[in-house]
Structure 1
Amino acid sequence: MEPPKFFFQEKYAKLGVRGNFMPLAAQPKNVELGDWLAHQAFEQFGNIENLVACISERDDKTGMPLCNPRGCPTMSAGRSHIYTWLNSNREPVKVPAYQYIGLVRRWIQGKLSDTRVFPTQPLKDSGAIYGSENVTDNIITMNSTGPTTPNGTGSALASRNWIGRSAGFPENFFTDIKTIFRQIFRIYAHIYHSHWVDPFWHITGSNPPSSGWTDLNSCFVHFITVAKLFGLLSEKDLEPMQPLIDIWVGNGSIPPDAAIGASAVTVLQ
């Protein structure tokens, strides 16, 4: 039987910031949806990178990173949720959490730096507000969809529509966004279930006064507000963290419009 999860208790659901994240999540009136989702992908990836850095710190006693093969032999979020990676033969395999997270980070970096997926030269007046990152090596085994370039030409393309098309994004752009958010969620779920106590419970700051676990909560509630608002994660995806999400929905940390997926979108055909 698993030990109790402190982070599922309301007293540990506090945030390190006041207010809610709706102003940072809601699509601005003059920004195209594809551009806004691209911006969110870059922002949320930057946030999770900072948190991954915390669990990559080496323990003074063991000399090993806090997330290591011995302590985290699988990419898990509790005993009931174990995530696998597809190898080169498209077979699901269990890998240590640090390896899975490394593969995810490289895959996302590869997507964000691929100008075919996230074009760095937006169409005129598209209102693009995202950036790009340099990647030294993005050749990895992927567990997502195939190429993300539009297929078909001329009248065939003219008869179809998709999210982000007007801003120059490819046809599978929204699918890629959802995959990016799903993988970031899995990293959050692993961090909570395996590293909430060590290191986040022990992290403190003095300028301004803060604690690691409240800052972690702030990043995660921001992420979930965006994901739920635009329908980027399914109920099954959310299962490992649902009790905490329910607390935030109940106390309004996740605003009602986000909780009901007010801006949820579907791929247009």
Structure 2
Amino acid sequence: MCAGPRFEYHWQDSNSVKYRRSTRLSAPDYIDCLLNWTQAHIDDESLFPVEPSMPFPRNFVDRVKAILRRLFRIYAHMYNHHFAQVCALHLEVHLNTSYRHFLLFVTEYNLVDPKEMAPLAELNDALLEEN
């Protein structure tokens, strides 16, 4: 799983026996692990309470930042390795719109460190300039 020649992502999940250590995975396997991990976090009622009287945990922002940082990696991979196929399918408007919303949200609330978004720095600068 990478986003160009300078950025390679390894999967690690301290709650998993199989991936307790940083593990190099193919993009499809990495994304599958990431989406399952994200879904488990979203389904975790101690992180996202379903009862109005239940408080959010103290580490809520840090955990959400971890989710968003990892989700960014899917966009970085898509733009760096699959954008031609996205364009061939005439789906670039959908990808660009989705990513722009993501970027504006994480930028507005400082949820992903700009260093983490370096693989798409030029695109990010262009999108943020439009605002």
Compute the TM-score of the two structures, normalised by the length of structure 2: 0.91
Please give the secondary structure, in 2, of the residue aligned with 1:76.
Answer: coil
Structure whose residues are more often helix by fraction = 2
* 1:28-55 deviations in Å (ceiling 9; x for gaps): xxxxxxxxxxxxxxxxxxxxxxxxxxxx
2:83 paired residue number: 196
One-letter amino acid of the counterpart of residue 237, structure 1: E
Paired with 1:183 and 1:117, the residues of 2 have a C-alpha distance of 17
1:21 paired residue number: none
The structure whose Rg is larger is 1
* 1:150-184 deviations in Å (ceiling 9; x for gaps): xxxxxxxxxxxxxxxxx610111111110111011
Please give the secondary structure, in 2, of the residue aligned with 1:82.
Answer: coil
Q: CA deviation at 1:236?
A: 1.1
One-letter amino acid of the counterpart of residue 22, structure 2: P
Gaps of 5+ in 2: none
Q: CA deviation at 1:214?
A: 1.7
Q: CA deviation at 1:194?
A: 1.1
1:245 paired residue number: 124
The partner residue of 1:100 within 19, 26, 30 is: 30
1:78 is the counterpart of 2:78:
no
Paired with 2:37 and 2:127, the residues of 1 have a C-alpha distance of 30
2:47 paired residue number: 117
Q: CA deviation at 1:90?
A: 3.4
* 1:59-101 deviations in Å (ceiling 9; x for gaps): xxxxxxxxxxxxxxxx100010000012637321210010110
Paired with 2:74 and 2:81, the residues of 1 have a C-alpha distance of 10
Paired with 1:231 and 1:176, the residues of 2 have a C-alpha distance of 14
Please give the secondary structure, in 1, of the residue aligned with 2:48.
Answer: coil
One-letter amino acid of the counterpart of residue 67, structure 2: I
Sequence identity percentage: 31
Paired with 2:46 and 2:65, the residues of 1 have a C-alpha distance of 17
One-letter amino acid of the counterpart of residue 189, structure 1: A
One-letter amino acid of the counterpart of residue 202, structure 1: A
Gaps of 5+ in 1: 1-74, 124-166, 205-211, 253-269
**Matched residues, number:** 127
Paired with 2:117 and 2:104, the residues of 1 have a C-alpha distance of 12
Q: CA deviation at 1:249?
A: 1.8
Contact 2:10–2:24 at 8 Å: present in 1 too? yes
Contact 2:104–2:128 at 8 Å: present in 1 too? no
